[in-house]
Amino acid sequence: MKLYYAPNSRAVRVAWVLEELGLSYAVEKFALGAREMREGPYLSKHPMGRVPTLEDGEITLFESGAIIQYILAKYGNERFVPNTQSVDFASYLQWFHYAEGMIMPPMNTLVVETILLPPERRTELNVKRSSKLLRQMLTAVNTHLADKDFLVGSEITAADFMTGHAVIMSNRFGIDMSAMQHLKGYAERLSSRQAFKKAEAL
């Protein structure tokens, strides 16, 4: 397998699951937003020139959630996914998709308005709105984590690889978690895992 990766990106989620499973894989590393991502041959792998993309034999796949589901279905030996007949399965699906569905949209706006746009094109109202929305999305996760270490059941699942990563990135992009103690502990718990550290250090 080959993972197209950039540091501090959603590609870390995919590297994280590969590391947790102890699978071997090759890495092609980009600097986030580099021209070689947006122009040239990489566009035939990802039409928007983004990361992550995974190649596995004949298969080329983009979208971090789809890639993680693919890896776990094919190579996971039932790890990190609750059994479809268990009571946890529906909750697993919900929290797996919460990352891209609820956390990343306001985070994308926040990153565009505070980092990517030149200062003269930034809009303070957009910063305020996206920060408020992002905090609302994270508060729901904080409340959910009041009596548990991981999002679903008592063990880490791929829902944590997705939504946990989005939580960690929110913190790094400036969301103060001092009033969200469960979330703070959760982010620390996840980011202290060896597999996560390796995935971030590629």
Q: Which residues bind ligand GSH (CB under 6 A)?
A: 9-10, 32-33, 37, 50-52, 63-64, 100
Comparing every residue's Cβ against ligand GSH, the nearest one is 50
Which is nearer to ligand GSH, 65 or 88 (by Cβ)? Answer: 65
Which is nearer to ligand GSH, 50 or 88 (by Cβ)? Answer: 50
To ligand GSH, the closest distance from the beta carbon of 181 in angstroms equals: 27
To ligand GSH, the closest distance from the beta carbon of 83 in angstroms equals: 25
Q: Given CA atoms 70, 76, 79, 82 in this order, what sign does their dihedral have? A: positive
To ligand GSH, the closest distance from the beta carbon of 76 in angstroms equals: 19
Residue 104 in contact with residue 13, Cβ under 8 Å?
A: no
Helix boundaries (H) for 76-164: 88-98, 104-111, 124-144, 158-159
Which is nearer to ligand GSH, 54 or 156 (by Cβ)? Answer: 54
Which is nearer to ligand GSH, 50 or 144 (by Cβ)? Answer: 50
